[in-house]
Every structure is written in structure tokens, then in C-alpha cells.
Amino acid sequence: MASKRPESGPGGSCATRQNTMSDQELRSQIKRLIVSELNLKARDPESIEDDAPLFGAGLGLDSLDALQLAMSLEEKVGVRIPEGEEARLIFRSVRSIAEYVAKVRGA
């Protein structure tokens, strides 16, 4: 019986192919975490776009939210977010957080 090979996304890496289904689940988990941990109860997690900015004109988070989110990600997802400019890049969007988490988990 032939096995069906998952398609790769942009970049086509082996890790991307292996995690295609779980990438969407991870983004959904991060959205739920943002809503619950930052007390955005009126916000539907699935209404947060994967590539929308989390800070400023996007979701409107601030530096205290970033700190809370970093601590929550470490506690609930098991991934430590670095400080400084690297954190700013990771916290650009839900997708960038998910990509970082997947990269750290795959290392």
C-alpha cells in the first residue's frame, strides 16, 4: 500500500512537510493563549489573522502584554522567548510565534 506524502509549504523543508497539519493547530493554540492569558475575552481567537501585527495598529498589544505572553508561552508551550530585538521579530504575528516555536521544538 502506497503512503501519501504530505505536501511541503513554502521553503519545502522536511520539517515543514512533517508539521504541515500541526502548524495550523499550533497557530490556533497560540491564538487561544493570547486571548485567555491577556484577558481578551471579547475576542474570538479565530478572528485573529495569522499574519496580522500583534502590536500597534494590529491587535493593539503593548510591552506588558509581550512580557505576559512570553511567560505564558514558556509555561504552557515549553518554549522560552529571547529578549530584545529577537523577541520583537518573534512577536510580529501569530505565524512568526508559531514558526519560532516549531523551530525550537525541532532543534
Q: Report CA Rg, the chain.
A: 15
* CATH annotation of 14-40+49-106: 1.10.1200.10
More confident residue, 20 or 73: 73
pLDDT of residue 107: 67
CA atoms within a 13 Å half-sphere pointing along the CA-CB vector of 97: 31
Cα–Cα nearest to 61, from 39, 84, 30:
39
pLDDT in tens, 21-31: 489 999 999 99
pLDDT above 70: percentage of residues in the chain: 79
Q: What would the pLDDT profile of 27-43 be if each residue is shown by its tens digit?
A: 999 999 999 999 998 89
Q: Please give the model's pTM, rounded to 2 decimal places.
A: 0.78
Contact present, 73 and 101 (Cβ < 8 Å):
yes
Non-local (6+) Cβ contacts of 4 within 8 A are: none
